[in-house]
Amino acid sequence: MAKNSAKGTARNAGERWRVIVYSVTALIALVGLADATFLTVAHLTGDDAVCGSSAGCSAVLGSAYAAVAGIPTAAFGALAYFVVFSTSVLASFGYARARTLLALVVAVMFAATLGLLYVQAFVLHAFCPFCLLSAALTFLLAGIVVATPSIR
Amino acid sequence: MKRYLPFAIIVAVAVVTIGVGAMLYRAKMRVSPSAAAPPAGTASTAPADSQEKESLHARGPATAPVTLEEFGDFQCPPCATVSGVIDKLEKDYGPRLRVIFREFPLAMHSHAVEAAMAAEAAGLQGHFWEMHDMLYQYQAVWSKVSDVSHFFSAYAESLGLDVERFKADSQSDAVRARVISEGDLGVSRGVKNTPTFFINGTQLRGAFTPENLRAAIDAALAGKQSP
């Protein structure tokens, strides 16, 4: 009886932990989604206001790397963040497969972010703050995925 | 009910994201011909074609082997930065480089159309480039105020222009039509951002650093010199 009660308590704590972790990843994904949506709109409208007086930032957003096959790179980011958000919500409600998909998408985002950071640092020699914010969010997501065994 | 809750949350976020994105897009979209068009009941007095021939803003000889054409917005901070770079390139390349400036005022810049019209009005008195340089030089000042007309009139005065004529021209339908026609030209050539550059008619991609602009000009010069 006491054993069952202890097991139940452990399960409840585990569930609570799962909900907290996936809520955090969902919130991070929401911030990333807002950031990537803003950058997508900026790209489509030619808005350079996001850059302030930084010509380097404008150079990044106006570069050939800012679009892939005519589609803004930020739009791929927005899609990725939306998938991360969706899988996080589903995972927090106990959908086991969503956890695997979440880890997979975050791994792809991590690799893409490394590539984009390389382009900014060594090809364009310029950075855009909103792109760096997205990179930081992806690293944060990757850190949570790696650090939380239940996600992997 | 709980079974559908996660899907409801996901759909709600998707709808909100698309909605906010669409609203932002509409708000930031560059000035359209209808938005910059003269008020109903007034007519444009000069056809675009004749204006094009009369008032192409170019520096450097028409026979220069390289033409650097910029679509710019006077309220765009990177345009102001790159303006200094272009001045330096003009000095370095001399008669081998021709620079053309075209108006592309963006809607998210509240005074961009007024600034473009001020530059065009100064151009009617033969001082487009002086006003162009002045608008970029003092961009940080006038772009923050709500009423820019006093600033632009002061710039016109300091350039020795006929201020009353400048004031009238900077609100005229002809000048407005010229700004609109250049914006439309940019759109037809795929311009979205400012600054956008064309070298001998080919759109320049990548970062507009001094090094990249110089490399693109050098490449165009080499192309002209090779048989």
Estimate the share of chain B in helix, then strand, then coil, as percent rounded to the nearest 5: 60, 10, 30
Q: What percent of chain B has pLDDT over 90?
A: 43
d(CA A2, nearest CA chain B) in Å: 30
Counting runs of H as helices and runs of E as strands, what totals does chain B give?
Answer: 11, 5
User: Among the listed ranges A55-64, A134-143, B173-182, which one has the minimum average pLDDT value?
Assistant: A55-64
Reported for A111-114, long-range contacts at CB under 8 A and 24+ positions apart, including other chains, are A112/A76, A112/A80, A113/A138, A113/A139
Which residues in chain B are contacts of A45 at CB distance < 8 A? 25, 28-30, 106, 108, 192
Looking at residue A55, its pLDDT comes to 57
Q: Is residue B55 part of a domain?
A: yes
Nearest residue of B to residue A83, measured between CA atoms = B10
Which candidate from A33, A55, A63 shows the least CB-CB separation from B206? A63
Nearest residue of A to residue B32, measured between CA atoms = A45
| Both tokens assigned to A52 | 């302030």
The burial class, CB within 10 Å (0-12 / 13-18 / 19+), for A22 is buried
Alpha-carbon distance B27 to B32, whole Å?
12
Token look-up 């303006």 returns B83
Give residue B42's pLDDT band: very low, low, confident or very high (50, 70, 90). Answer: very low
Contact at CB, B208 and A78, closer than 8 angstroms: no
d(CA B144, nearest CA chain A) in Å: 13
Q: Is residue B46 part of a domain?
A: yes
Contact at CB, B191 and A46, closer than 8 angstroms: yes
**Domain hosting residue B205, numbered range:** 31-225
- State whether residue B102 is helix, strand or coil: strand
Which candidate from B13, B25, B196 shows the least CB-CB separation from A41? B25
d(CA A141, nearest CA chain B) in Å: 19
Which candidate from B2, B28, B208 shows the least CB-CB separation from A45? B28
Alpha-carbon distance B59 to A85, whole Å?
53
Give which of B10, B30, B198 to mutate to test A binding, by max A Cβ within 10 Å: B10
Contact at CB, A125 and B5, closer than 8 angstroms: no
The interface pTM score, or ipTM, of the predicted complex is 0.80
Alpha-carbon distance B17 to B124, whole Å?
46
User: Among the listed ranges A123-137, B144-158, B213-227, which one has the minimum average pLDDT value?
Assistant: B213-227
Contact at CB, A37 and B10, closer than 8 angstroms: no
Give which of A18, A19, A47, A84 to mutate to test B binding, by max B Cβ within 10 Å: A47
Token look-up 């996901």 returns B10
Question: Residues A55-113: pLDDT tens digits?
Answer: 566 667 766 677 787 788 999 999 999 999 999 999 999 888 999 999 999 999 999 99
Q: How many domains does chain B have?
A: 1
Whether the Cβ atoms of residue A90 and residue A62 lie closer than 8 Å to each other: no
pLDDT higher than 50, residue B51: no
CATH number, position B186: 3.40.30.10
Token look-up 């759909």 returns B11
Q: Is residue B3 part of a domain?
A: no
More confident residue, B65 or A14: B65
Q: Is residue B9 part of a domain?
A: no
For residue A110, give the H/E element and its range: helix A96-118
Q: What percent of chain A has pLDDT over 70?
A: 78
Instruction: List strand residue ranges (DSSP E) for B64-178, in order.
Output: 66-72, 97-103
Q: Is residue B190 part of a domain?
A: yes
d(CA A142, nearest CA chain B) in Å: 21
Looking at residue B55, its pLDDT comes to 60
Q: Is residue B154 part of a domain?
A: yes
**Which residues have C-beta within 8 Å of that of residue B94, sequence separation ≥ 6?**
none
Alpha-carbon distance A150 to B61, whole Å?
69
Contact at CB, B194 and A46, closer than 8 angstroms: yes
Q: Checking DSSP bridges between strand B66-72 and strand B196-199, what pairing results, if any? A: antiparallel
Q: Is residue B182 part of a domain?
A: yes
| Nearest Cα to Cα of residue B21 among A139, A66, A72 | A72
Whether the Cβ atoms of residue A22 and residue A89 lie closer than 8 Å to each other: yes
Which residues in chain A are contacts of B209 at CB distance < 8 A? 55-56, 59, 125-126
For residue B57, give the H/E element and its range: strand B57-59
d(CA B21, nearest CA chain A) in Å: 6
Contact at CB, B5 and A82, closer than 8 angstroms: no
Nearest residue of A to residue B76, measured between CA atoms = A48
DSSP per-residue string spanning A12-71: HHHHHHHHHHHHHHHHHHHHHHHHHHHHHHHHHHT--GGGTT-HHHHHHHTSGGGEETTE
Q: Is residue B19 part of a domain?
A: no
- Give this prediction's pTM: 0.55
Which residues in chain B are contacts of A64 at CB distance < 8 A? 205-206
